[in-house]
Amino acid sequence: MPNNPAGEIGQSIIDHYKIEINDIVVDIKIALHEDDAVPHYIVSLTNISDATKLILEKIRQEFVSVVDKHQIDTARESEDIRDRFQGEIKKIIKKYFHTANEETTSMLVNYIIQENLGLGKIEILLKDSQLEEIVINNHTEPVWVYHKKHGWLITNIKLITEARIRHYATMIGRDIGKEITTLNPLMDAHLKTGDRVNATLNPISSKGNTLTIRKFSTDPWTITKFINDNTISVEAAAFLWMAIQNELSILVAGGTGSGKTSMLNVLANFFPPNQRIISIEDTRELVLPSSTHWVPMETRLPNPEGKGEITMLDLLVNSLRMRPDRILVGEIRRAREAQVLLEAMHTGHSVYGTIHANNAEEVIVRLTNPPIDIPKPMISSLSVILVQSRNRRTGKRRTLQVAEITETGDAHVIMQLNVASDVLEDIATSRIVMERLRLYTGLSEEELKNDLAQKVKILKWMVRKQIDNVDDIGKVMARYYMGKLVLT
């Protein structure tokens, strides 16, 4: 790792980039000191000096003293905070910075709002597209982040008190009609941006109050990004494309953080644009091409009085009345959900979902034992199990296995990751999937192989042309299904 001459002695700068948030330029450095076990994520505001920050802190305190807290809470619920309070903040800023022009004043207003009315410096982390997770363990420890490229990092950001962490949790909950209290010290919620939030209060979390924010990806994973990242091979991607084109159902398995939902999003890249797609999630994470006929749906937890809950099962049953061609389910957890899904498969619907399991055999064990407890013969309506894994040491996410389901409901693994060489290898010939495809398409084995080779060619062309945006991939798929795709 190269040493940065501007850094501390013995410190290597691993990565360095800038982000801009409402005219505030934020410098991000990822550094590793020779004595560190974990790299550091260092945030600094490049266009605000330390002296200016001291004055801004006085302005912040003055603003808080002249504005009633109830007004702030009301503004947060009813309208944009910036519009509501920028007049008051500008007046105070002009008192201290007489010669500041409009651009500088606007930047200072944004700084005050960020520090006092939003989530403070956590707002900076939320704006960094390279971060997947933001974790506050308590006020005495720095905030941790999970970086797409560098894994877990320690930041130079701390929350000043346990009360501030609780305030953030309360504020997030209030925005969506939820409460976190001493009697109800656990909360699952989401920000208006779609980011998922989990909060816990002391003493349930014995070191202090916690916040865990899983960021909603505005730039979702796509099949070409997965191929470029070596998450999946071109050949495996082509095989899955062929299965999806011919409406075979697929279940994506894996452990926490293995990329199950990302893979589900990638599989949706292959849907034809003239089919109706219903997605069902606890919190919106999927992002499909804008050209698709897509209806996203979300579950809803009960209000504090225990009313108004909409479960995944409610939405799943309802979706069958919406004439879907494809059904996407965020995660299968309970017996009734799995039963309805398998019944949907039996009645001709194409279903795609995720499940917590570490390998294909474990998927079968989970489905056929309590609490899900599906009769094994019923599982044969599922065609493919795709297993994702994450190497905890390197942080790399990979497709671990591709398996087909036999007539008896067992998993027959046809592709498996060679961890030593980091290559997804063919370890068996597909029997069931290829037989079903011959039955459904009327194509011969040779014709199916040619179709597979053509899909490999298209995927390699997309990678070469750097077509990795979800909407651009949607356009390619639309041209392919209309028979108008020309490779250049």
Residue-wise DSSP of 412-447: EEEEEEETTTTEEEE-S---HHHHHHHHHH---HHH
The set of residues, in sequence order, having a beta carbon less than 8 Å from that of 282 and lying 6+ positions away, is 188, 298, 299, 312, 330, 331
N-to-C CA span, the chain:
39
User: What's the pLDDT tens digit per position in 109-118?
Assistant: 777 776 666 7
Please indicate whether residue 85 or residue 14 has the higher confidence score (pLDDT).
14
Mean pLDDT within 81-107: 75
Mean pLDDT within 422-443: 95
Do residues 88 and 64 touch, judged by C-beta distance below 8 A?
no
- The CATH H-level (homologous superfamily) assignment of domain 223-481 is P-loop containing nucleotide triphosphate hydrolases (3.40.50.300)
Least confident of 7-16, 137-146, 401-410, 425-434: 7-16
Q: Residues spanned by CATH 3.40.50.300 within the chain?
A: 223-481
Which DSSP helix (H) or strand (E) runs through 146?
Answer: strand 144-147
User: Which pLDDT does position 155 carry in this prediction?
Assistant: 96
User: What's the pLDDT tens digit per position in 441-465?
Assistant: 999 999 999 999 999 999 999 999 9
